[in-house]
Amino acid sequence: MPRNHPDPKSLTMTEKILAAARDASEAAIRRAEQTGTRIILWRDGQIVYLSAAQARAEFEANLKSAESERGTRADDSSTEK
């Protein structure tokens, strides 16, 4: 759940699910950084092992990409009437 959201009750179910996934990802990466373990994921039908640093870099890049996409969509929708 976005911790700084002024009214969490106003979030859609999709927004709540995405926030929970982001929080869980952040927690898993933080634990991997603390314990020196790898992040294991399923990607394109294969098991993939990432270092905590690789996982952190991908996570942050994906967040930036998602934020820019949301900004673009918000800009697009505000110009349509």
SS3 49: strand
Could you report the per-residue pLDDT of 11-62, keeping only the tens digit for each?
899 988 988 999 999 999 999 999 999 999 999 999 999 999 999 999 999 9
**pLDDT > 60? residue 75:** no
Task: Decide: residue 18, CB within 10 A, 0-12 exposed, 13-18 middle, 19+ buried.
Answer: middle
| Predicted TM-score of the model (pTM) | 0.72
* Domain range summary for the chain, segments of one domain joined by +: 8-79
